[in-house]
Amino acid sequence: MAACLAHFRRAFLAVAGFSGLINVLMLSGSVFMLQVYDRVLPSRSVPTLVALILLIAILYLFQCALDAIRGRVLARIGSGLDERLSERTYRVMSQLPLARGRSGEAMQPVRDLDQIGSFLASGGPPTLFDLPWMPLYLGLCFAFHPWLGLAALIGAILLLALTVFTEKMVRRPATEMSGYAGTRSNIALASIRNAEVLEAMGMRSTLASRWSEANSKYRQAQMRASDVTGSLGALSRGLRMLLQSVVLAIGAYLVIGQEATPGIIIASSILTARALAPVELAIAHWKNFLAARQGWHRLNELFTQFPAAEDRLQLPPPRTELSVEGAGVVPPGERRYVVQDIAFSLSAGSALGVIGPSASGKSSLARALVGVWPAARGKIRLDGAAMEQWPAEALGRHIGYLPQDVELFAGTIAQNIARFDPSPDPATIIAAAKTAGMHEMILRLPGGYQTEIGEGGASLSAGQRQRIGLARALYGDPFLVVLDEPNSNLDAGGEQALTQAILAVKQRHGVVVVIAHRPSALAAVDLLLVLESGRQHAFGARDLVVRGAIPSAPVGTLQAVASEGKASG
């Protein structure tokens, strides 16, 4: 974050320069009043008054122009910061669920970046740039008379103490606001994803109560922060107005004693107000400043935790072997192994079926094989190279993955199959669709391959989504294809197409791993891996594993696989 901010060093120096000129021009009003009371009124000179009016108008025009330019520069710094960090923030956001599990905090980096940009475009930063010019105004007050300077200095110290007190009082409710906002966002996103379940099972009122509770806590924290900043802001305004009156009274006393001129009364009052205005504005903007600062620290920590991908040596495409060497898998945010001591090797042209009871670690193993969850122990290698040696983008081109819960993106069918490649090969898209048995079905849709499927593929049936997900996994002929429950929503025709797709991968000397409960998905596999309680209980040729089933293995599943094998034979 500091390195990114350093890119805008010249822009910040320009803002500082503009702030200096603006604060010097702010003296125009005091000098004008001083000249009017001490020069124009005693001399009764109208030409002098007209000249002063024209001069002050020009100075104020310059001041307004510089203030507008400063605001535009700060807004563009915020926009430039967002532009430089947006892609990095997206990458961190998309990696968070893999490192910490599926939690609502994944959207927090985007909110933090927006908060920083909004603060830079607000009136807060100009106030911070004006604060260092307080000594100039206080010094001029001392130049008029020590009593005037002392009064202004005491007021400045009191307002600065209020600023420090505001920082301490607002910090806790602002932190609580951030946490409650995340909880509220979690409930909202979950409700949107599961709108059908809420409607069908009458859960909307229950979730509405949870939302109201989280929203109430958010509002209470927001109210506490607003009460603090509002009360202290009102106190600072009242103190500033009182101080102006005190300065006027002191000036009047000095004039009575013939120690100052009448113009000094007004000029010193204006200078005092200008000296203390940045502190008052800082208190008013303190809540936004604190939120931006917290967002800055959170983003900085995340960028440190998820460093930018290093340039790695481009390895040749894998063509010969997938090997798993004593692999153990721990889900994100947990410490317990759900899969451990898994060891096997698959050569090109092999198809492995992974079976076992529920919660035996099958899907966890699938995530590890494709690099979604890194192996906490052991190694997973492609052609001898461990997964972490591959650049993520390069590795993805050699892997096809069909997760248990298929998620499609808003866009066309062609874009989803092509993994949103900006310049896809139409022939490769059609080849993947044909391998998945979807080509004819896609052509029957109103827009064919250009049919918009909506967010999450809402316009398609579950079976269609699964088969488009299969085509996406097969796009580009990846070497390793991992299919997790690929037939959970398929009919008989879809299962036959799945079998043909697995055979096609084997024929082109790829490697297929199929996780399945339904034996029909294993018709084309030649190897079988049996998992139970996260451990490997059997591995070998399909027929040998089925015939030599051990007592602790899921015998019912093995018998079903055996029956399926006889039927397919």
DSSP of 510-531, one letter per residue?
Answer: -EEEEE-SSGGGGTT-SEEEEE
Report the chain's mean pLDDT, rounded to a whole number: 82
Both tokens of 214, joined, read 């989280």
| Sign of torsion over alpha carbons 69, 74, 80, 83 | negative
pLDDT of residue 554: 45
511 shares its domain with 464: no
pLDDT 10s digits, 325-358: 989 998 887 888 899 889 999 999 999 999 888 8
Q: Is residue 310 part of a domain?
A: no
CATH number of the domain within which 193 lies: 1.20.1560.10
Q: Residue 507 and residue 503: Cα distance in Å, rounded?
A: 6
- Region of poorest pLDDT, from 406-415, 428-437, 497-506, 548-557: 548-557
Predicted confidence at residue 96, as pLDDT, reads 76
* Alpha carbon separation from 433 to 155, 407, 466, 487, 510 (Å, rounded): 75, 17, 12, 16, 17
* CA atoms within a 13 Å half-sphere pointing along the CA-CB vector of 27: 14
Instruction: Please state the domain count of the chain.
Output: 3
Residue 470 covered by a domain: yes
End residue of a domain, out of 423, 456, 477: 477
What pLDDT does 565 receive?
46
Q: What pLDDT is stored for residue 311 in this prediction?
A: 63
Q: Are 354 and 515 in contact (CB under 8 A)?
A: yes
Q: What is the pLDDT, as a whole number, of residue 156?
A: 80
pLDDT at 566 over 60: no
Q: Is the pLDDT of residue 550 over 60?
A: no
Q: Which two tokens stand for residue 286?
A: 């303190």
476-526: pLDDT as tens digits: 999 999 999 888 878 888 888 888 999 999 999 999 999 987 777 788 898
Question: Which residue, among 546, 549, 553, has the nearest Cα to 569 in the 3D structure?
Answer: 546
Indicate whether 61 pLDDT > 90: yes
Please, what sign has the CA dihedral across residues 149, 155, 158, 160? negative
> Domain for residue 559, yes or no?
no
Give yes or no: residues 232 and 325 share one domain.
Answer: no
- Do 302 and 107 meet the contact criterion of CB atoms below 8 Å apart? no
Q: How confident is the model at residue 236 (pLDDT cuts 50, 70, 90)?
A: confident
484 DSSP β-pair partners: 515
- Residues 420 and 436 both lie in one domain: yes
How far is 301 from 306, CA to CA, in rounded Å? 9
User: Quick check: is 528 in a domain?
Assistant: yes
Q: Tell me the residue range of the domain where 462 lies.
A: 408-477
Same domain, 389 and 268: no
Shared-domain flag, residues 366 and 269: no
- Assess whether 449 and 509 both reside in one domain: no
What the block records as the tokens of 530 is 């049996």
Q: Let me know whether 247 and 146 are in one domain.
A: yes
Residue 562 reports pLDDT greater than 60: no
* Angle (CA) 118 121 125, round 5°: 105
Mean pLDDT for the stretch of residues 30-59: 85
106-110 average pLDDT score: 76
How many other CB atoms are found less than 10 A from the CB of residue 299? Answer: 22
99 and 8 belong to one structural domain: yes
Which residue has better confidence, 172 or 562?
Answer: 172
- Report yes or no on 493 lying in a domain: yes
Show Cβ contacts of residue 375 under 8 Å, excluding neighbours closer than 6 positions.
Answer: 327, 328, 329, 368, 387
Show which of 428, 451, 477 is a domain's final residue.
477
Q: Do 173 and 221 form a contact (C-beta atoms < 8 A)?
A: yes
Average pLDDT over residues 279-290: 76
What is the C-alpha to C-alpha distance for residues 112 and 124, in angstroms, rounded to an integer? 17
In a domain, 459, yes or no: yes
CATH number (domain holding residue 417): 3.40.50.300
Listed residues 447, 477, 507: the one ending a domain: 477
Same-domain pairing of 92 and 7: yes
Identify whether 417 is part of a domain.
yes
Say if 569 falls within a structural domain.
no
Same domain, 283 and 334: no
Q: CA-to-CA distance for 159 and 235, rounded, in angstroms?
A: 9
Q: Are 487 and 518 contacting, i.e. CB atoms less than 8 angstroms apart? A: yes
Rounded Cα distance between 426 and 346, Å, is 31
Which residue in the block uniquely carries the two structure tokens 């340039």?
A: 311
Per the CB < 8 A criterion, the answer to whether 441 and 464 are in contact is yes
> How many CB atoms lie under 10 A from the CB of residue 173?
21
Residue 43 has a pLDDT of 82
Question: What is the distance, to the nearest Å, from the Cα of residue 222 to the centroid of all Cα atoms in its chain?
Answer: 22
In terms of C-beta distances under 8 Å and separation of at least 24 residues, what long-range contacts does 332-338 make, across chains too? Answer: 332/97, 332/98, 332/99, 332/100, 332/101, 332/373, 333/99, 333/100, 333/101, 333/103, 334/101, 337/376, 337/377, 337/534, 338/364, 338/534
Backbone angles phi, psi at 155, to 5 degrees: -60, -40
Between β-strands 377-382 and 385-386, what pairing exists: parallel, antiparallel or unpaired?
Answer: antiparallel
531 and 544 assigned to the same domain: yes
What pLDDT digit, counting tens, does each position of 292-311 carry? Answer: 888 888 888 888 877 766 66
Residues 78 and 167 in one domain: yes
